[in-house]
Chain A
Amino acid sequence: MNERVTRGVITLLVGAAIFCALAASPHKWNFSPTWAYRQLYWDGLLKTVSATGIAFVLGVSLGIGVALARLSRQLWVRHLGDLYVELVRGTPFLVQVMIAYFGIAPLIGVDNKFLVGTLALGAFAAAYIGEVIRAGIESVERGQFEAARSLGLSRTQTLVHVVLPQAVRRMIPPLTGELIALTKESSLLFAIGVMEMMSAARQTGADTYAHFEAYLVVAGLYLTLTIPLSLLARALERRLGSGTRTGVDLL
């Protein structure tokens, strides 16, 4: 409880300091253009949330595949998994989404910016989420695997009934982290013209020159999405991290 109070006080103080610094600055504050564009921000918020949500689900699904590929007994499957992760993690998402929209999409005759952007974001997320899943699976000690196999469980049964139930608990906090990262990464979809939150701020700034206000507002909106997730991640970590079943920590 004490720690929570301290945290709250510090947050309030820092917030007040930032507010005072901004208020005292020579900038002539004018939030009315941003308020006038509020519909754009609302629509942008919905797009950001839906693109992130769909990309996350896609990322987890593909990520399971990436993780299993990287853990495969087949050398060539493992290499394919490694290659995918290296390619995705080795290039900026901005470049990937450009290639997807201006390169690949026309080839397959797709012109839906939201669709292309979200798919690209999902494919991007899969590389990172795949690594989280792989690390989770590998964090289960080898003895668990051996005990299961020596009881006559097949590889698949061992994975499903012994390894995954333990691994998933350990994956949840870092996966929440990936979701936060993805929320922020989705801002790059502005580059192909998806009208998410970042685009709303750009539009406001371009039309009214109230750039500072527009980006401050959008920063605040991103924080309203990411801070609850980050609190959730911390709570989950506290709850699942210890691995105790006594429940004492929950109170």
Chain B
Amino acid sequence: MITLDNVTKRFGDVTALRDVDLTVAKGEVICLIGPSGSGKSTLLRCINALESPEKGRVRLDNEVVDAGRQDIDTLRGEVGMVFQHFHLFPHLTALGNIMLSPRLHGRPDEAKARALLERVDVADKADAYPDMLSGGQKQRVAIARALAMDPRVMLFDEPTSALDPEMVGEVLQAMRTLAAEGMTMLIATHEMGFAREVAHRVVFMDEGRIVEVGTAQHVFENASHDRTRAFLDKVL
């Protein structure tokens, strides 16, 4: 469903991604792990064309993802993204945040928006503005917002890294539910326990390369590469 062919992305002198190949099947949950700056975020951002690779190609269901294409906005709408710092729109209520994109695309559906809030367990905060929500509530609203356009895939860019520890669980729970429903998900995360539990495959990245891909069990217990083992020794 998602294919990255030979993707290379540079920022000035820094190469964020080097010749990355990855194929993600429909319904698959993939966790990207690795040290900060290893390219996890950049990889996700190439999938919805927030970044344009210098080399290589990203495809979504056989459509080439390219910031220059005419229908890039439509395509982006079909890729949900959840950010580390939530980026909720502060001038809109939780419900307003979720309804904005559907409304601008001519299919506002308040009942559906409320159902989405229900699904991430913040139904009672529909009319609250973001600055009245806790970090965990903000991130769950952000997840509901990303789901509002019925995305084909959900990208999570370290969704719990900016949260107070006691709020991590509620966000992971919302993601777990989503995974159980069969959503295709790519998750950059430092939550190793979560990765081990929900990921069909775990991708270990370092210095812009994919070092190792395998089942959670393989990567966590039986990694083939020294670098993977060195990283896991430090974080586990």
Q: Which residues of A contact B (CB under 8 A)?
A: 141, 143-144, 146-154, 157, 161-162, 165-166, 169, 243-246
Contact residues in B for A157 (Cβ distance below 8 Å): 104
Closest residue of chain B to A165 (Cβ to Cβ) is: B91
Total interface residues in chain B, CB < 8 Å = 30
| Interface membership of B38, Cβ < 8 A | no
* B178 CB, nearest partner CB in chain A, Å: 17
- Beyond A143-B83, A146-B83, A157-B104, whether A162 also contacts B89 by CB under 8 A is yes
In the bound complex, CA of A188 to CA of B80 (Å): 56
B123-158 vs A, Cβ < 8 Å mask (1 yes, 0 no): 000000101100000000010011011000000000
CB-based closest 8 A-B pairs: A152-B77, A147-B87, A143-B87, A151-B101, A150-B81, A165-B91, A245-B129, A152-B76
User: Which residues of chain B are near A144, meaning CB under 8 Å?
Assistant: 87, 89
**A152 near B87: Cβ-Cβ < 8 Å:** no
**B77→A151 contact, CB < 8 A:** yes
In the complex, are the beta carbons of B131 and A243 less than 8 A apart? yes
CB distance from A133 to the nearest CB of B (A): 17
Which B residues form the contact surface with A (CB < 8 A)? 48, 50, 73-81, 83, 85, 87-91, 100-101, 104-105, 129, 131-132, 142, 145-146, 148-149
Residue in chain B with minimal CB distance to A160: B104
- Establish whether residues A143 and B85, one from each chain, have CB atoms under 8 Å apart when the complex forms: yes
Min CB distance, A166 to chain B, in Å? 6
* Pairwise interchain contact B91-A166, C-beta atoms closer than 8 A: yes
A165 to B100, CA, bound (A): 13
A144 to B145 Cα, complex, angstroms: 13
A149-B76, A150-B79, A151-B101 known; A166 vs B131 contact (CB < 8 Å): no
Contact (Cβ within 8 A) A245 B50: no
Chain B nearest CB from A224 CB (Å) reads 35
CB <8 Å contact, A243 and B90: yes
Q: Which of A151, A154, A166 has a CB less than 8 Å from the CB of B145?
A: A151
| Of B76, B85, B91, B105, most A-chain CB atoms within 10 Å | B91
